[in-house]
């Protein structure tokens, strides 16, 4: 019984210290060279498309959620087509962003720029006009000229915190399935 009492006391003390440490304002992690990291990076919630048939135009949706304790707003995301997905032709002038999840028709979020990154020309870098705040969800939509042949296509997604010194943090791969037309 004494051991159980000691364990419960230690747990209560740890929770109390944790509550004290986290009750102040949240500030992003800063490296000694001035670069900024998220305290807790955003989450790639899903990658989806309504139009999954090969040969037809489509719109690929990438949903990213910025956690309340991110420590910094989301300024940009980079979407990197992997392997065979590099052949997909995206219409950069038609890229859009909205608040909320895909198909929810949330408010439109203006974009500052859309384009490739010098380090990797296949990257599609989407910079928000106003950073997406912690606690918010954003959907970035990339229109295609046409879907490729049927298969599984992967897209790496990297998030960048606000400020010129933001360090990108890889969120994972979005997976889009495309199906060949029945003949």
Per-domain residue ranges of the chain: 28-178
The average pLDDT across 58-82 equals 96
Can you give the pLDDT at residue 24? 38
Please tell me the distance from the alpha carbon of residue 156 to that of residue 125, in angstroms, as a whole number: 12
The burial of 107, by beta-carbon neighbours within 10 Å (0-12 exposed, 13-18 middle, 19 or more buried), is given as exposed
Question: Could you report the per-residue pLDDT of 88-138, keeping only the tens digit for each?
Answer: 888 989 999 999 998 888 999 999 999 866 567 778 999 999 999 999 999
Q: Establish how many alpha carbons lie within 13 A of residue 25's alpha carbon, considering only the half-sphere containing its beta carbon.
A: 3
* pLDDT greater than 70 at residue 19: no
C-alpha torsion 67→120→174→168, nearest 10: -10
C-alpha torsion 63→133→126→62, nearest 10: 0
Structure tokens at 65: 């959620």
Please tell me the distance from the alpha carbon of residue 78 to that of residue 119, in angstroms, as a whole number: 11
**Record: fold of 28-178:** Immunoglobulin-like (2.60.40)
Return the ∠ at Cα 74 (arms to 113 and 62), rounded to 5°: 70
Can you give the pLDDT at residue 87? 85
Question: Could you report the per-residue pLDDT of 87-98, keeping only the tens digit for each?
Answer: 888 898 999 999
What's the whole-model pTM score? 0.81
Structure tokens at 3: 């051991």
Query: How many other CB atoms sit within 10 Å of the CB of residue 11?
Result: 10
């Amino acid at each position: 019984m004494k051991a159980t009492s000691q364990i419960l006391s230690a747990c209560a003390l740890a929770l109390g210290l944790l509550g004290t440490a986290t009750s102040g304002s949240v500030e992003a992690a800063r490296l000694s060279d001035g670069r900024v990291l998220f305290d807790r990076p955003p989450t790639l919630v899903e990658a989806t498309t309504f139009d999954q048939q090969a040969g037809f135009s489509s719109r690929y949706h990438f949903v990213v959620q910025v956690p309340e304790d991110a420590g910094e707003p989301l300024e940009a995301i980079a979407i990197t087509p992997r392997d065979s997905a590099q052949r997909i032709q995206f219409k950069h002038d038609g890229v859009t962003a909205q608040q909320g999840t895909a198909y929810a028709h949330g408010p439109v979020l203006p974009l500052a720029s859309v384009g490739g990154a010098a380090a990797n020309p296949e990257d599609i870098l989407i910079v928000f006009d106003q950073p997406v705040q912690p606690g918010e969800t954003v959907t970035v939509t990339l229109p295609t000229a046409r879907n490729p042949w049927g298969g599984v296509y992967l897209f790496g997604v990297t998030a960048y915190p606000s400020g010129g010194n933001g360090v990108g943090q890889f969120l994972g791969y979005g997976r889009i399935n495309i199906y060949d037309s029945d003949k």
